[in-house]
Amino acid sequence: MLWEVDIFAAPGLPDVAAAEATADALDLGFSPNLTFGTARGYLAQGDLTREQIDALVEKLLADPVVERATVGRVGDPALDLSLRGDKGKIVYAIPKPGVTDAVADAALKSAREFGIVPEAVRTFKKYWIDGASDEELRRLGRKLLANDAIEQVAYGKLDFDTLQVGSSYKFELIVVPIRRFSDDELLALSKDMGLYLSLLEMRTIQEHFVKLDRDPTDVELETIAQTWSEHCSHKTLAGVIEYDDGTGTKRLFENMLKETIFDATVKIRENLGESDFCVSVFSDNAGVVKFDDEHNVCFKVETHNHPSALEPYGGANTGIGGVIRDPMGTGMGAKPVCNTDVFCFAPPKLDASEVPNGVLHPRRVVKGVVAGVRDYGNRMGIPTVNGAVYFDKRYLGNPLVYCGNVGLIPVDKSFKEPKPNDLIVAMGGRTGRDGIHGATFSSVELTSESETVSGGAVQIGNAITEKTVLDVMLEARDRGLYDAVTDCGAGGFSSAVGEMGEDIGAEVDLSAALLKYEGLSYSEIWISEAQERMVFAVPKDKWPELKALCDSEDVEAFVLGEFKPNGRLVLKYDGKVVADLEMKFMHKGRPRAVRQAIYRPTDVAPITVAPEGVELPARTIASEAVSRAQSCGKEFKSAAALDLEAILGSLNVASKHWIIRQYDHEVQGGSVLKPLVGVASDGPGDAAVLRPKVSSRRGLVVSNGMNPNYGDYDTYHMATSAIDEAIRNAVAVGANPNTISILDNFCWGASDKPEVLGSLVRAALACREASIEFGTPFISGKDSLNNEFRPEGSDEAVAIPPSLLISAMGQVDDVETCVSMDLKKPGDAIYLVGTTKNELGGSHLSLVRNWVGGQVPTVDVPLAKRIYNAIYAATQARLISAAHDLSEGGLAVALAESAFAGGFGAEVDLAAVELASESGSLGSLPGVDDVADCVKLFSESNSRFIVEVAEKNAEAFEKILTDAGAPFVAIGKVVEEPRLTIKGSAGGAAIDADLADLKRRWQKPLDLGGEVD
């Protein structure tokens, strides 16, 4: 028997979900005449009486103060009526069988408290929609109400009467006769099985089994494909690359990453000698550095791009859930202390007609991704403290979702070593069909077909399962109950057991695995990427205590196998061997293809307006702001003031408070500098500061740098600029520049195109050089290649812009020395620190003006180091009242942000600012009268800050900077009146703007609704 419970907001209270659906439908281009009514509900299956269901509704499922419910058997006409009197056609959105439905699980378990035992429960959303044709209704179902990757839609009536999940599995060993396959058959097999292996790789496997004189089983092929996947082995960037840098010299990399980024860290550690602060780099799940005498800290940033494109909520949800397991799986397990997230989207207000088939509207992507990170991060009790969002139309088919996590780990628990004959123990979530082929799928280009072929790669997380694993793991770690731990990420058990047992060997009994539902084959169990699972190496004598600990906190754990010291991976199911592979072949047998990479240098072109009809893809972020600024009405505004308004209102710069406020950035009680700072807590902070140990004054600083716009001109300067920006943000709040560590995350287009790969190699070379010169080591990294989308019926794939995220982690001895960016006190002096050059190429001024050409910002690392050390010294001496880094929009934007964040005005004179002599003749800029002032206001030259200094500290501040050889100039002062007044070099007002107006323009564009203020 299947009961349905519909729960409505009580009469007189708002139907929030309906209001949201109405707004979203409008944004997605549906008719404004549609009206929505909603209910949330439960389906309960089992031998239950009406009285029992009524009792559950009253005691458990509905809140009697604010909700009302209808109950009936599925199909009961009473269920067609909305208690709120909503009219129209009914649409149900129901999680597909097997998709995580935590609320249903909770209802099932809690019902037992009342002695009521349903067989199965599932939740759903139900809509009454009036004014829609059947065609519109179906389009709504597809585009707004449900996502086919995880949900099924029913129109009018539910089309099933049981919730059964899974059917029993009958063992059958599958052997694939590849020894006799032709090349075409090998390629077809790779495609059909979703292995995504090249012909060379398939042939290598074939030869291996010819030598063994047998054919492989399906699970052997799956295991090899997973181990060799781009996602797990980084075969492109850690592979052989022949690089032509366009100057006639060619360079052969045996292992590109090792020879660039890893190599920089090796050199830095040598240079640092005694003061080397790295502990474990590029070897564990996260990079580890020293923090204090008792603890180290580790940091990892991952991407979850492909899943987020198909199902933004689930993709981002499992993205953050997955990266949290990286520090948890580092050393003997770290305690996660903060999250970061950086997103790249297409503009959320893009016209629906511009969104091709197979692509979700960016507004849905933005909302889904933000909600996915929110619900997982908040539930885990980990503050999300830092982030950024970039917009460009090229992210339409390929949004980027970078999720990061920092963990705190005792010094003596920072390394692990599985021992021979240890038990392989799996802990946490059960195994289902979730995410099968996630590792291989995340390594390929998306097409309009991806949604249908890859749906299984999408999952929904359950944060509380992971939280309970974390609670138990930290206790077990401190009691010494295991020798090693790693996370089950991409590739599932296959990857976790394969990596941990690489140097020993492992024997696994797949029939021992706890399953979510019946019917999984041995192969599915092995490669499932079900979330919230960790794998431990446990000494046999410790297992009973570990099991008891897990039981005491309702955490499931079981013995999956044993690390048998024979160098083989043996998988069994019900006692039968289903795989027997040499660890050596899996980890060392992959053939190495030589890839070509070319970089073609181009001369810097003078800045011009983009040709008629050409709009830069990145410019879509700003066109709305531009038109708004240009139609400013009667009041006279200078061109510079209009430019400033347009940049403040452009999506990359605009306030991210709508996102930030949805994240708990203060849980764990260590928050020092929050993402939003200032007198009204709404100014854009440069970096987050937290105390990971509440009883200590020592602080951790987290920041990032990223400039996809510069990459369109030169990925070398894009990379050095990103590194400089990440360090600069950390230094602005008070981090010691000499103990900053950084991470790289490369998200790029198709790596089989030599120019695309060349632009990446060039960026990696830049990373190496800048990292060594700064003395700032990379400690971990990750790449995501082939971020291209091929729209239906098109041969041309759209590639994302080169997107290198640099994440930085800094430290500060005493958090009370930290500085925020908001202006503090009228009368204080404002300094510009650093050198301003004519660097408007790829700038936000260029974006809002639709300019092309120009020099992109470069980094003078020795100069930057002098500046950062001087700022740090002045911060330590508490001479600085406010500091803000200059980035998107340059000086003008930084001044405006610091002023409106502090609630005080600023009076600044551009005549004081000197342009660097190498800027030479400035030439002309389209439609600009005073080119020098335009450069001073909007150039995005790196390594610069504005700094507020109280009069009593000015002399000491100037001395520190002078002694350090850091260029600086006093440009004005803080004033009481809330206006930003910038005098032009020739005397007139370049900008004279009301702060409240600037702030409003900055806050509005990304306020996607919902927040109460």
Partner 1 sequence: MKPNVLILRAPGTNCDLETAYAFELAGATTERVHVNRVLENPALLERFQILCFPGGFSYGDDIAAGRVMATKIRVNLVDAIRKFRDDGKLILGVCNGFQILIKSGILVADDDKGAPVTLTWNKSGVYTDRWARLEVKSDKCVFLKGIEKMYLPVAHAEGKFMARDESVLDALEAQGRLALRYVPSDNPNGAARDVAGACDETGRVFGLMPHPERHVDKTQRPDWTRFRDDPDFATRVGDGLQIFKNATEYFA
Distance separating alpha carbons of residues 686 and 674, to the nearest angstrom:
10
Phi and psi, residue 114, nearest 5°: -100, 10
Q: Least distance to partner 1 from the beta carbon of 587, Å?
A: 37
Distance separating alpha carbons of residues 897 and 822, to the nearest angstrom:
8
Residue 825: other Cβ atoms inside 10 A: 14
In the residue annotation, 208 being an active-site residue is answered as no
Question: CB-based burial of residue 283 (10 Å sphere; 0-12 exposed, 13-18 middle, 19+ buried)?
Answer: exposed
Three-class secondary structure of residue 935 per DSSP: helix
Please say which residue, 112 or 540, places its beta carbon nearer to partner 1: 112
Q: Least distance to partner 1 from the beta carbon of 912, Å?
A: 26
Question: CB-based burial of residue 997 (10 Å sphere; 0-12 exposed, 13-18 middle, 19+ buried)?
Answer: middle
Q: Least distance to partner 1 from the beta carbon of 675, Å?
A: 10
Residues 6+ apart with CB under 8 A from 120: 44, 45, 46, 108, 163, 164, 165
Please say which residue, 475 or 582, places its beta carbon nearer to partner 1: 475
Token pair recorded at residue 1002: 């900055």
Q: Are 377 and 336 in contact (CB under 8 A)?
A: no
Q: Least distance to partner 1 from the beta carbon of 738, Å?
A: 23
Please say which residue, 528 or 875, places its beta carbon nearer to partner 1: 875
Residue 320: HSE in the Cβ half-sphere, 13 Å Cα cutoff: 35
Please say which residue, 61 or 908, places its beta carbon nearer to partner 1: 61
Q: Least distance to partner 1 from the beta carbon of 571, Å?
A: 32
Please say which residue, 365 or 821, places its beta carbon nearer to partner 1: 821
Distance separating alpha carbons of residues 480 and 577, to the nearest angstrom:
33
Token pair recorded at residue 828: 């204080």
Q: Are 98 and 433 in contact (CB under 8 A)?
A: yes
Please say which residue, 207 or 976, places its beta carbon nearer to partner 1: 976
Q: Are 689 and 734 in contact (CB under 8 A)?
A: yes
Q: Least distance to partner 1 from the beta carbon of 361, Å?
A: 20
Three-class secondary structure of residue 76 per DSSP: coil
In the residue annotation, 304 being an active-site residue is answered as yes
Distance separating alpha carbons of residues 723 and 861, to the nearest angstrom:
10
Distance separating alpha carbons of residues 339 and 936, to the nearest angstrom:
36
Please say which residue, 113 or 192, places its beta carbon nearer to partner 1: 113
Please say which residue, 356 or 826, places its beta carbon nearer to partner 1: 826
Q: Least distance to partner 1 from the beta carbon of 990, Å?
A: 29
Residues 6+ apart with CB under 8 A from 631: none
Q: Least distance to partner 1 from the beta carbon of 820, Å?
A: 4
Q: Are 980 and 991 in contact (CB under 8 A)?
A: yes
Supply angle C-alpha 992, 994, 996, rounded to 5: 155
Distance separating alpha carbons of residues 178 and 204, to the nearest angstrom:
11
Select which of 234, 304, 306, 717 is catalytic: 304
Residue with tokens 């099932």: 108
Residues 6+ apart with CB under 8 A from 142: 148, 153
> Rounded to an integer, what is the distance from CA 820 to the centroid of its chain?
25
Distance separating alpha carbons of residues 607 and 193, to the nearest angstrom:
51
Please say which residue, 75 or 381, places its beta carbon nearer to partner 1: 381
Select which of 231, 361, 657, 665 is catalytic: 231
Q: Least distance to partner 1 from the beta carbon of 516, Å?
A: 16
Just list the catalytic residues.
231, 304
